[in-house]
């Protein structure tokens, strides 16, 4: 009887995880397009690293290095807070982290980058 409870809890956790993972992917494709349309991103604008390249402060970087830096900044505290939230709240922490990433973290990072590109474009 003890094993049945453990199996149902594992299934519940994996279902919650799978739903949250699907929500992250859907948020990337659909909500990301919506936010991009609201902010008005221009694909033809040059980044400050290319436009103001001076070899010291503004240096173009390969895409994989920029991706790695962004990934490390986001994932740096994830293992700490994820484990704490999981221990405190259980599988509902997946939902909390997912909603926070899609509706707060991603929008904040994207809008911040667009505002900084617009500000540096005026220089």
Residues of the chain with pLDDT under 70: 1-11, 73-80, 121-123
- The pTM assigned to this predicted structure is 0.61
DSSP 89: H
What's the total number of domains in the chain? Answer: 1
Is 23 buried (19+), middle (13-18) or exposed (0-12) by CB count in 10 A? middle
Residue range(s) defining the domain that contains residue 14: 2-121
The pLDDT score that the predictor gives to residue 10 is 60
Closest to 13 (Cα-Cα) out of 117, 99, 89, 113: 89
Q: CA-to-CA distance for 67 and 88, rounded, in angstroms?
A: 31
The pLDDT score that the predictor gives to residue 26 is 92
The pLDDT score that the predictor gives to residue 22 is 92
The pLDDT score that the predictor gives to residue 3 is 56
The pLDDT score that the predictor gives to residue 61 is 87
Q: CA-to-CA distance for 89 and 26, rounded, in angstroms?
A: 24
């Amino acid at each position: 009887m003890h094993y049945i409870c453990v199996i149902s809890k594992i299934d519940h956790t994996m279902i919650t995880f799978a739903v949250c993972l699907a929500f992250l992917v859907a948020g990337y494709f659909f909500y990301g397009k919506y936010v991009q349309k609201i902010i008005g991103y221009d694909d033809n604008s040059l980044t400050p690293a290319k436009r103001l390249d001076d070899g010291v402060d503004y240096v173009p970087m390969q895409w994989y290095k920029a991706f790695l830096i962004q990934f490390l900044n986001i994932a740096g505290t994830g293992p700490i807070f994820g484990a704490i939230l999981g221990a405190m709240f259980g599988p509902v922490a997946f939902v909390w982290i997912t909603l926070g990433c899609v509706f707060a973290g991603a929008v904040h990072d994207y809008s911040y980058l667009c505002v900084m590109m617009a500000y540096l474009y005026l220089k």
